[in-house]
Amino acid sequence: MSRLSSEADAPTEASGEELAPVDPTRQAVVDVLRDALGAEHVLDEVIEGNDVWVRVAPTVWREAANVARAALGMTYFCFLSAIDWKQNPELGGQKLWDPDADAGEGPSDGPGAWTTGKAGGDTRFQVVCRLYNVTTHVGLTLKADAGDDNPRIDSLVPLFRGADWHERETWEMYGIDFEGHPGLRHLYLPTEFEGYPLRKDFPLLAREVKPWPGLVNVEGLPGEEAGDTDESAEGGES
């Protein structure tokens, strides 16, 4: 029996709208979290098909993971990462990044402003963690706001030892400080690397110097057409 659920659900907007009929197991996940953490700390939830998204207040981040592990049996640590919600449309598709464009204002709808995804969000950086129960096959995506300028959140290493590498990677890519982590240092990047690459205001220099030429119908043989193929190999490196 196919378990594909996409034909039944259309992607919903954020802010807790639930589709009927809701899977009781998934609803129970949210209820357990709400009871254990207190309703004021569970800021938003979305249940869609087989997935549960819950956004919690950043102060109860570790507590939420603990509840998931202890009460819901989600002992499998899938991943932990972050999302930078700063809208910078110049980075997508075929346009150039413009360093003089205005930075976005606050989280409201509007050009160049922040709009956040499932289960909402208030700040620019959001931490996402996924936990899973390997016997009942129920997964939970936890989200928490980390902050705008100096993002920081609790570390999950005391609960899940596997969070160690994930948090190191998130730190070096976004600059999110994990409090309680045994040693935040570079995992992927060389030690002298400056900057946080996955932030939306980190430009890809090669695309700045030589913009993506767009769809090319037929590529000429090397040496046939003047210019393009040779220059793109030499331009952009210094």
Partner 1 sequence: MTVTDYQKAAYVAGQAADARINFELEAEGMTLNMGPQHPATHGTLRIILRLDGEQVVWAEPVCGYMHRGYEKLCEVRDYAQVTTLINRIDWLGSFCNEVPFVLAAERLMGIEAPPRAQWIRTILFEMGRIANVGLFLGEMGAQLGALTPVFYAFRDREYVLNLIEGATGGRFHPNFDRIGGLKDDLPKGWIDEAKGAMRRLRDFCDEMDDLLVGNRIFQERTRGIGVIPLDVALEYGLSGANIRSSGLDWDLRRDGDHGLPYNELDWKVWTHPDGDSFARYWVRLQETREATKIVDQLLDGLPSGPIKAKTPARIRVPKGEVWLHTENPLGEMGYYVVSDGSPGGPFRCKIRTPSFSNVSISSWLLRGVYVPDVITILASLYFILGDIDR
Partner 2 sequence: MGLIDRGLAPKPLTKILNLARSYSLWMYQWGLACCAIEMAAAMGSPRYDIMRLGVIPLPASARQADVVVIAGTVTDKIVPSLRRLYEQMPDPKYVISMGSCANCGGPYWDSYSVTKGVDQIIPVDVYVPGCPPRPEALLQGVLMLQERIKNEDMAVRWRGGVGERGEPIVVGG
Contact 177, 184 (CB under 8 A): yes
Yes or no: say if 119 and 53 are a contact pair by the CB < 8 Å rule. yes
Is position 233 an interface residue for partner 2 (rule: CB under 8 A)?
Answer: yes
Q: Which is nearer to partner 1, 2 or 108 (CB)?
A: 2
Return the range that interacts with partner 1 (CB under 8 A); candidates 21-29, 102-110, 126-134, 219-227.
Answer: 126-134
Question: C-beta of 217: minimal distance to partner 2 in Å?
Answer: 20
Q: Which of the choices partner 1, partner 2, none does residue 223 contact, using the CB cut-off of 5 to 8 A by kind?
A: partner 2
Site for partner 1 contains 78 (CB under 8 A):
yes
Q: Does 148 bind partner 1 (CB under 8 A)?
A: no
Is residue 41 within 8 Å of residue 59, measured between CB atoms? Answer: yes
Least distance between partner 2 and beta carbon 197 (Å): 5
DSSP code of residue 103? P
For residues 30 and 1, the answer to whether their CB atoms sit within 8 Å is: no
**Helix, strand or coil, per DSSP, at residue 187:** coil
Q: Residue 96, interface with partner 2 (CB under 8 A)?
A: no
Residue 162 contacts partner 1 per CB under 8 A: yes
145-204: contacts with partner 2 (CB under 8 A): 188-190, 197, 202, 204
180: its two tokens: 């309680």
130 contacts partner 1 (rule: CB under 8 A): yes
- In the chain, % helix, strand, coil (3-state, to 5) comes to 25, 20, 60
Residue 138's nearest CA partner among 26, 20, 234 is: 26
User: What SS3 state is found at 37?
Assistant: helix
Taken in order 198, 58, 17, 81, the sign of the CA dihedral is positive
- Report the residue from 45, 63, 145, 164 that binds partner 1 according to the rule CB under 8 A: 164
Residue 91 contacts which entry, partner 1, partner 2, none (Cβ below 5-8 A, type-dependent): partner 1
Query: Please, what is the minimum distance in Å from the beta carbon of residue 81 to partner 1?
Result: 5
- For residue 88, the number of C-alpha atoms closer than 13 Å in the C-beta half-sphere is 19
By CB under 8 A, residue 237 contacts partner 2? yes
Site for partner 2, rule CB under 8 A = 188-190, 197, 202, 204-207, 212, 222-223, 232-233, 236-237
